[in-house]
Amino acid sequence: MLTINSFLIFEIKNMRSFASDNNSGVHSDIIDAIATANKDHAVGYGDDEYTQEAVQIFRDLFKTDVDVYFTFLGTGANVLAMKSSAQSFNSVLCADTAHINVDECGAVQNFTGASVKSLPSVNGKISVSSIAKELHCIGDEHHSQPSVVSITQPTELGTLYSIQEIKEICDFAHANNLIVHVDGARISNAVAALDIPVNEMITDTGVDLLSFGGTKNGMMYGEALVVLNRSLSTNIRYFRKQTMQLSSKMRYISAQFTAFLNNNMYVELAKRSNAMTKLLQSKLNKISQIKITRPIETNAIFAQIPVSLIEPLREKYFFYTWNEEENEVRWMTSFDTTEEDIESFVSCIKDVIG
């Protein structure tokens, strides 16, 4: 859960931020792709050749005939995933830290009527045993019936499920008639960090639904719900319209994804972002007042810092407090973070410490 005094937002000009990877700009190749798509007319709502091309690229990438539903938002992709797999009497099992649990303003509950059951997590990850504990009262009409497990890769804490862990969750879930959804708002960072093709992480482990993010890694806007278990697709086209995620000028999302996925751009950008986090980590390790609190596996750093440092630092570099009681803050790098950004940030921290 992120908090911030909102008045600060308007005081920081020309900022370079470590608040979130969605504070960064748009990669110039994405702008070019939008500009290239911006000629003539194209049929609306996805019946255009840009969208056909992008869908085919997803199919090639996942090495199977996935269905792809482009959305405006990550929340929109998550809601669509849940619409396809949960009814009002169902429950969605996820980590207590999951975005769908704490950062989507109850969107899943609002659009599906299902309850969201948060499971205890360790560094953002849930386990088969925590899922198993929820599988009681199956068939009892007094209790919500679990229908889907949602995990986030990388997690909201920047940590990673290994391929083995994803497979174990999928195998267990399927053996218990549960669908598996992956919130991959930052799936690029996971692919880059684990250095494994996305089809091996997602298709081969048996994931049913993936929210594939673009916005946090260099796209202007646009996410994709990738449906690997196509039996879940039956009603998604209707739900997408109802949830206001059906873009009439779809080509501008599709063209971005084509550029993003071609030539491994999404992985290369995420590698850069992850590498900048490692660089920042190496410098923070030398500052005794800063205590890193979570394993650093992708592009996020969580750290406890003296409370007196938070506001002076935030006046120069916008960032969020993650846990106010613990003075735990979150710093994130982006595809466009530079070594100079890291140097300036670290020297600003040192100045504030005095």
Ligand X SMILES: Cc1ncc(COP(=O)(O)O)c(C=O)c1O
Interacting residues toward ligand X by CB under 6 A: 73-75, 78, 99, 152, 156, 183, 185, 215
**Whose Cβ is closer to ligand X: residue 78's or residue 145's?**
78
Residue nearest to ligand X (CB): 74
Indicate the burial class of 176 (C-beta count within 10 angstroms; 0-12, 13-18, 19 or more). Answer: middle
**Whose Cβ is closer to ligand X: residue 220's or residue 275's?**
220
**Whose Cβ is closer to ligand X: residue 25's or residue 306's?**
25
Smallest gap from Cβ 19 to ligand X, in A, equals: 11
Smallest gap from Cβ 99 to ligand X, in A, equals: 4
Read off the tokens for 228: 């690997």
Phi, psi of 98, rounded to the nearest 5 degrees? -60, 145
Report the C-alpha gap between 196 and 205 in whole angstroms: 12
Smallest gap from Cβ 139 to ligand X, in A, equals: 32
Q: Which helix (H) or strand (E) holds 291?
A: strand 291-292
Contacts of range 313-316, beta carbons closer than 8 Å, 24 or more positions apart: 313/348, 313/349, 313/352, 314/4, 314/8, 315/8, 315/11, 315/12, 316/12, 316/348, 316/352
Smallest gap from Cβ 308 to ligand X, in A, equals: 28
**Whose Cβ is closer to ligand X: residue 110's or residue 234's?**
110
**Whose Cβ is closer to ligand X: residue 289's or residue 320's?**
320
Smallest gap from Cβ 285 to ligand X, in A, equals: 26
CB atoms near residue 117 (< 10 Å): 15
**Whose Cβ is closer to ligand X: residue 145's or residue 321's?**
321
Smallest gap from Cβ 154 to ligand X, in A, equals: 8
Report yes or no: 86 and 232 within 8 Å, Cβ to Cβ. Answer: no
